[in-house]
């Protein structure tokens, strides 16, 4: 995930991933090494504003496409598509995903977030509001 110049700074220390959206650091090591968003070749969805973030780095599933699919079909099949690729042995999340783990949970959560954000607000009746 690191740029060529950032790779030159990598040490043998254990590195960890930071998913805090308010923090510029993406990876940090026990020896104090830090790698920010600018040190990576790809955008890290956890560090980007909601809207068009890519959740699946192997197959390109992203929020904008999920939203378009929901608008056109009433639902998104992103989870089913990713699951199908996983079952066929086509994913490489440990290499392509900046977090280094399977993205299926992230894709599922994104579909739920996008779907919920697109749901029309519930209208309350006078009874629900408690007015007479």
Helices (H), the chain: 4-7, 63-73, 78-87, 93-96, 104-118, 126-129
Residue 131 confidence (pLDDT) above 60:
no
Report the share of the chain in percent with pLDDT over 90: 89
Distance CA 56, CA 20 (A): 18
pTM comes to 0.84
Give the pLDDT mean for 1-24. Answer: 95
Give the pLDDT mean for 81-106. Answer: 96
Given this model, what pLDDT does residue 120 score?
82
Q: Where are the domains of the chain?
A: 1-41, 48-117
């Amino acid at each position: 995930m690191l740029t060529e110049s950032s790779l030159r700074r990598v040490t043998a220390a254990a590195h960890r991933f930071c998913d805090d959206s308010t923090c510029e650091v993406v990876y940090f090591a026990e020896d104090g090494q830090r790698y920010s968003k600018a040190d990576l070749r790809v955008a890290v969805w956890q560090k980007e504003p909601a809207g068009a973030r890519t959740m699946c780095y192997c197959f390109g599933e992203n929020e904008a496409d999920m939203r378009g699919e929901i608008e056109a079909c009433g639902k998104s099949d992103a989870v089913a598509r990713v699951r199908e690729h996983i079952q066929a042995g086509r994913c490489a999340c440990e290499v392509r995903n900046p977090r280094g783990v399977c993205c299926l949970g992230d894709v599922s959560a994104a579909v739920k977030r996008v779907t919920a954000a697109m749901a029309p607000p519930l209208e309350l009746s006078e009874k629900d509001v408690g007015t007479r």
